[in-house]
Structure 1
Amino acid sequence: MELLLVIFLAILTVFVAIAFYYEHPKAEIPHGFSQRQKLYVFHYILNFVFGLAKFLEKVGITSELYFLRTIMDGIPPLKDKHLLIEDFKFEKVEVRIYQPKMATTGLRRGILYFHGGIGQLGSIRAYERTCCYFARKSNSVVVSVGYRLAPEHPYPSQFEDCLTATIHFMRTAQDYGVNPLRVIVCGDSSGGTLTAAVAQALVNRRDLPKLRAQILIYPFLQCVDFNLPSYQQNEGVPVLLKERALALGLRYLNKELSATEAVFKVSPIPEDLQLKYQKWVSPDHIPHEFKARGYKPSTTRPFSKELYTLVRPGFDPIFSPLLAEDSVIAQLPEAFILTCEFDVLRDDGLLYKKRLEDHGIKVTWCHLQEGFHGTVFLAVCGGVIAFQSGSKGLEKIVDFLGLM
């Protein structure tokens, strides 16, 4: 009898999860994508997971975020016999350090890695394979930062933890066999946001050595314009659908999800700030070749003071590093920026590249023509979920590290 009940509940769960799955927009993958069917399958599986997470929260079994975190943490860790892996605390921030066992002359480079997950997902465990890969392939000491997650620890706790860990490591780098002049910050997606924000926060510190470089992997960098060409062209391309990006971003800021619709009807930016931000965030700054797949200029929307008050925290450079003042941008370290053609965040990376180069900052740019959001993370996971674009991106990052 108990077995029948379990089977019944399992079948019910699947059918209800499927219903939630169909609430999501359908995938829109361009025909030129060589691994198109594979990405479709991955998209369907991912939507099903999101649907199941919603269902489990609706019926009171577990929260949506806890379920999604559990799924991510379920990626089997990769223990590398060539690495010494130890857990530490930098102040109150949990970190895991990956040190190559192979003997070397002199001090190594150090990499602080900030994982993605829109401030609510991801962990040291989920990114074990990523950090092992970079430590092994680049012969570097990698520090994976286990920053606190929202909503339990509201924004900007995530930035504060990453900054604390970075300062601690820069002061103690030699204790871990690292040259303090060869410290690099790196992150993917929202981890790229944190990377840019930490690099900006350190430009005026005279008590620390300068960062050697920053590596931004398909970063989120602004919440001023969600109608840039990449948002229009890739709104239905997995894995970061436009609707999903806005919803998770608002939840990260602890704001009402109903505001996602309002963002497209009214403007949350007063006229004086619009004029200021247009210098940095505008489709006019996107090269013409990135508009070839289609772009329709947005129409003028009326200003809403209510919406501005709601989303105002998002205009802080900690959340939107592309909005930092010129005096900060001009002092930033050398950068590696990875963008993906089929990613809503593509143009964020292109605009930041332009801002850095306009101020004389050296930028190494890697554009994955068949890349999509998350492809680098999937590549280190390996197996059937790895895509060719992600492997290419990993190789380019390691090549850049070799020059540092």
Structure 2
Amino acid sequence: MELLLAMFLLVLTVFVAMAFYYEHPKAEIPHGFSQRRKLYFFHYVLNFGFGLAKVLEKLGITSEVYFLRAAMDGIPPLKDKHLFIRDLRFEKVKVRIYQPKIPTTGERRGIVYLHGGVGQFGSIRAYERTCRYFARKSNSVVVSVGYRLAPEHPYPTQFEDCLTATIHFMRTAQDYGVDPSRIIICGDSSGGTLTAAVAQALVNRRDLPKLRAQILIYPFLQCMDFNLPSYQQNHGVPILLKERTLALGLKYFNKDLSIMDGIFNGCHIPEDLQLKYQKWVNPDYIPQEFKTRGYKPRKRFNSFSKELYTLVKSMLDPFFSPLLAEDSVIAKLPEAFILTCELDVLRDDGLLYKKRLEDHGIKVTWCHLEEGFHGTVFLALCGELVAFRSGNKGLEKIVNFLRLM
């Protein structure tokens, strides 16, 4: 029996190894990166996980999405003697609240945290360390939102849950010892997308206090142009490869991956919208210093496919592509902290959003991590084996910003 089990595990390992070598491109990490070997190692471990998830789904053991969710959740941390931690529901949305035990005079600031995971992965448990860290280090009350995930709950359920939870907290903030005028909304990756979208949805609400600030950590902000300088330069940099970015987005919307090439070539945008959006999404607005690692301009207009546009036009909605919101909305947004990473395909999304906010007189605190890559802030609290110096620096900058709010 033990021999059979060992043989099965061996065959499975070979199968997975073949899967991730054939299906995943080799990582392309710049030579100047100081923790290059460590990032290579993490890249191959991650690809092994993706490959194993595919194999387990084909064998009927578990679905790919469930396996990846479990892997991202990881091992929960031990109890925290410095925080009161409670699981509640805001309306029908699961939340976890972290309140410092240290006495304070007056009311604290509140942080609504929206986790990443492309609407399919991530959870309150996966971001337990992140939310505990911000609560302790900034002496804030943190609300971690456990929004429902796709594919069980299709888009825009995720946005709707985040908006519902945020509004509920804004209305009841004082019940948790929070000053309603000091509520900050924060998120990383697709959580940054949700953060930007929720902040936009609240700009005209007169029945609620104004958000104090928004914190966007390497956010995805537009589904128009996948050939910006950062996409060209970092297409092979872990962990968010260029193809993986769009593939995960299409899975989120339950679309077939066969349309990827058309989107990469810009065939999903009609000419009138290209003319409109290029006011906001334009490589000409990316500072020259971010093009020195290489950039080849693409022709502005490609062959438009009405069929493709019909399939993906919901991905151009500001709920999913906040960079495409109207100027009248952008002009009313709260102060922002935007974190970008040099080695991230989403770098230029953050740079373009920074420009739009500043053009409308919105104060922006910008943190750029020269050796940062997508996911580095999340990994900083997941143990020394996967923590990188850039992530620690990012956490420090975020906490410094919070303490000023």
Q: Closer, same or farther in 2 for the Cα pair 1:209/1:387, shift >3 Å?
A: same
Aligned AA for 1:219?
Answer: P
State the Cα RMSD in Å. 0.8
Instruction: Say yes or no: does 1:371 pair with 2:372.
Output: yes
Aligned AA for 2:16?
Answer: A
Counterpart mapping for 1:183-332 below 5 A: 183-265=183-265, 267-299=267-299, 300-332=301-333
In the alignment, the residues of structure 2 paired with residue 79 and residue 245 of structure 1 have an alpha-carbon distance, to the nearest angstrom, of 35
Aligned AA for 1:157?
Answer: T
Give the C-alpha shift of residue 78 in structure 1: 4.3
Instruction: Say yes or no: does 1:65 pair with 2:65.
Output: yes
Bigger mean CA deviation after superposition, 112-121 or 377-386: 377-386
Aligned AA for 2:319?
Answer: I
In the alignment, the residues of structure 1 paired with residue 211 and residue 158 of structure 2 have an alpha-carbon distance, to the nearest angstrom, of 20
Cα deviation digits, residues 194-224 of structure 1 (max 9, x gap) = 0000000000000000000000000000000
In the alignment, the residues of structure 1 paired with residue 262 and residue 55 of structure 2 have an alpha-carbon distance, to the nearest angstrom, of 26
What is the aligned partner in structure 2 of residue 383 from structure 1? 384
Kindly report structure 1 stretches of 4+ aligned residues shifted beyond 3 Å: none
In the alignment, the residues of structure 2 paired with residue 251 and residue 26 of structure 1 have an alpha-carbon distance, to the nearest angstrom, of 22
In the alignment, the residues of structure 2 paired with residue 45 and residue 266 of structure 1 have an alpha-carbon distance, to the nearest angstrom, of 32
Aligned length: 403
Runs of at least 5 residues in structure 2 that lack an aligned partner in the other structure = none
Question: Does the CA contact (< 8 Å) of 2:372 and 2:391 recur in 1?
Answer: yes
In the alignment, the residues of structure 2 paired with residue 237 and residue 318 of structure 1 have an alpha-carbon distance, to the nearest angstrom, of 27
Give the C-alpha shift of residue 265 in structure 1: 4.2
Matched position secondary structure for 2:15: helix
What is the aligned partner in structure 2 of residue 13 from structure 1? 12
Cα deviation digits, residues 325-377 of structure 1 (max 9, x gap) = 00000000000000000000000000000000000000000000000000000
Question: Does the CA contact (< 8 Å) of 1:233 and 1:293 recur in 2?
Answer: yes
Give the C-alpha shift of residue 266 in structure 1: 5.3
Aligned AA for 2:190?
Answer: S
TM-score (normalizing by structure 2): 0.98
Q: Percent identity among equivalent residues?
A: 79
Bigger mean CA deviation after superposition, 267-276 or 335-344: 267-276
Question: Does the CA contact (< 8 Å) of 2:229 and 2:294 recur in 1?
Answer: yes
Matched position secondary structure for 1:332: coil
Matched position secondary structure for 1:258: helix
Matched position secondary structure for 2:238: coil
In the alignment, the residues of structure 1 paired with residue 102 and residue 47 of structure 2 have an alpha-carbon distance, to the nearest angstrom, of 42
Question: Does the CA contact (< 8 Å) of 1:266 and 1:304 recur in 2?
Answer: no
In the alignment, the residues of structure 1 paired with residue 338 and residue 263 of structure 2 have an alpha-carbon distance, to the nearest angstrom, of 28
Cα deviation digits, residues 58-93 of structure 1 (max 9, x gap) = 121111000000111123324311000000000000
What is the aligned partner in structure 1 of residue 400 from structure 2? 399
Question: Does the CA contact (< 8 Å) of 2:88 and 2:94 recur in 1?
Answer: yes
TM-score (normalizing by structure 1): 0.99
Aligned AA for 2:118?
Answer: I
Cα deviation digits, residues 300-334 of structure 1 (max 9, x gap) = 42111111111100110000000000000000000
In the alignment, the residues of structure 2 paired with residue 49 and residue 34 of structure 1 have an alpha-carbon distance, to the nearest angstrom, of 25
Q: Closer, same or farther in 2 for the Cα pair 1:347/1:265, shift >3 Å?
A: closer
In the alignment, the residues of structure 2 paired with residue 79 and residue 249 of structure 1 have an alpha-carbon distance, to the nearest angstrom, of 35
